[in-house]
Structure 1
Amino acid sequence: MELVVVRQSISVALAGLIVLNSPASSLVQAEPSSTLSAAGDLSLFTDPVGAGVYVDGVFAGRTPVTLRGVPAGDHRVRIVKDGYLENARVVSVDAGQPTRLQVRLTRDARAATAPFGQVQVAVTKEDSPSSLRWVLLALAGGGVGGYLYATKLKGNKAPVAGSVAVSPTSGLVGSTSISFSAAAASDPDGDSLTFDWNFGDQQHGTGASPTHVYNSTGTFTVMLTVSDGKDTASATGTVVIQSLTGTWKGPLVSNTTTYNTTLMLTQTGAAVTGTYSDHLLNSGTVSGSVTPGSSPVSLSVTVGSFDPFTFTGSPAANADALTGTANGVALTATWTLTRQ
Structure 2
Amino acid sequence: MKFLDEAKVYLKAGDGGDGVIAFRREKFIEFGGPDGGNGGKGGDVIVEAVDGLNTLIDFRYTQHFRARKGGNGAGSDRTGAGSEDVVIKVPVGTVVLDEDKETVLADLTEPGQRATLCRGGDGGHGNAHFKTSTNRAPRRADPGWPGEERWVWLRLKLIADAGLLGLPNAGKSTFLAAASAARPKIADYPFTTLHPQLGVVRLNASEEFVLADIPGLIEGAHEGAGLGDRFLGHVERCAVLLHLIDGTQADPVAAWRTVQGELEGYGGGLADKPEIVALNKTDAMTPQARTSRLKALERATGNRVLLISGASGEGVPEALRTLMDAVTADRARRAG
Normalised to the residue count of structure 1, the TM-score between the two structures is 0.24
Between the two structures, name the one with larger relative contact order (CA 8 Å, sep ≥ 6): 2
Structure with bigger gyration radius: 1
Greater strand percent: which structure? 1
Greater helix percent: which structure? 2
